[in-house]
Every structure is written in C-alpha cells, then in structure tokens.
Amino acid sequence: MLNDFEHDSIFTPEQVLENRGRVAIFIDGSNLFYAAMQLGMEIDYTKLLCRLTAGSRLLRSFFYTGVDRTNEKQQGFLLWMRRNGYRVIAKDLVQLPDGSKKANLDVEIAVDMMALVGAYDTAILVSGDGDLAYAVDAVSYRGVRVEVVSLRSMTSDSLINVADRYIDLENIKEEIQKNPRHHPYTYRPLSGVGGSPVIEDKPSK
C-alpha cells in the first residue's frame, strides 16, 4: 500500500520541501551543542545556516544561548554569529545550588515563534526539548509548517509527534560539521551536562 501511495502521489517529497515559503530558524544553542558533543563533532555555523535554509527565503535565524558577560571569548563568538547571519538572543546564566550554571530559553523561543506567525511559513526548530511541543502545536494550528532538527536520542517523542517533519542531526552530520582550523572558536560546556556552553579559543597549529 505504501508503494502504491508513493506511486500515486501528486508531488514527490522533494517538491513538497521546495514549497517551504518563508523560513524562520529557531536554534536552542545549548541543546545543539550537547547533540554535537554526542556525535563527536563541532558545528560549522555557516554550513548549518545554509543547510537549514536549503535555498528557501530566510526571514531570520535566531540563536538562543546563555551567556557569561565577563567571558570575552564567548562574546567574540557571539559577535561572529551576529555578523554571519544569526540574530543572537542571550540570557545571563544563573548559578544553581550544585554549582553549575544554566539559562533556560524555552520561553523566549516559544514567544518568538508565536509573535512572528504570519511573517513566515515554515519554522525550523533546532532542539529536542519536549517543553517546546506546546508552542510547536500552537503555531501549527496558525498555519505554520514546522520542521524539527535534533539528535534522535535527545529528542522528545512529544516534539516529533507535533512536527510536520523531523530531521535527525546524525543524518546531516557530514554537511554541517566544521573542518579543521575553519573557525577560531569552539564550543564547550561551563560545567556538567545541562550547563550553558561557553566559547574558548582553540590553540593555533
């Protein structure tokens, strides 16, 4: 039955994806970092932006991250991001009782997704956080097509279930990973899993 359905389809999957309209990208920086760490790779953010946009008309690409404003290296990375196609939404880190630092930006992501409805046709959410499922469902009912991009082992089923399309980061790893010495900054966590990333210089070779 599946083969018959595919044979009788009016549009191929490629043609459907080409009709994405205006695209808005929402990236959970911390979630993406830990996914990349699980894959043993570093993200090339220029390649990532090109891969996610995939030739569609880009409205804006948002990058959400916790920050330590005294960390000059992190500020350098965020400045690079702002000058290379990303709108950075930063939130000060809060120190938790266990000594780790964290900044939760789920609310900011959800609010921006809702506030911009009507300005974009397809939302690309780079996160596996199930807390965002309600926001995804809400914008879907407003006529937005939602694609979720994340590592399967770190992605909530509730988020996948409300998305129109799911892309496993592992399947596009080769397209978005950084080449050696391509970029002067690297991402690493402040302390423990769950903390927000900071940026440090790589030693030059």
Across 107-131, b (16+ Cβ under 10 Å) vs e yields: ebbbebbeebbeebbbbbbbbbbbe
Per-residue confidence band for 14, with pLDDT thresholds at 50, 70 and 90: low
DSSP element (H, E) containing 82 = helix 72-82
Q: Do 22 and 57 meet the contact criterion of CB atoms below 8 Å apart?
A: yes
E strands within the chain? 22-28, 57-67, 87-92, 94-95, 101-102, 122-126, 145-150, 165-168, 185-189, 197-201
Whose CA is closest to 45, among 192, 176, 140? 176
Across 79-90, b (16+ Cβ under 10 Å) vs e yields: ebbeeebbebbb
Reduced to 3 states (helix: H, G, I; strand: E, B; else coil), residue 150 is strand
pLDDT digits (tens, 9 = 90+) for 66-82: 988 788 888 899 999 99
The pTM (predicted TM-score) of the whole model is 0.80
With 50 as the cut, is the pLDDT of residue 194 above it? no
Least confident of 29-33, 48-52, 82-86, 189-193: 189-193
pLDDT reported for residue 181: 59
Give, in order, the Cα–Cα distances in Å from 30 to each of 65, 66, 126.
Answer: 6, 8, 10
Measure the CA–CA gap between 146 and 82, rounded to whole angstroms: 24
Q: Do 26 and 62 meet the contact criterion of CB atoms below 8 Å apart?
A: yes
Q: Taking residues 28-53, what's their average pLDDT? A: 93
pLDDT digits (tens, 9 = 90+) for 120-162: 999 999 999 999 999 999 999 999 999 999 999 999 999 999 9
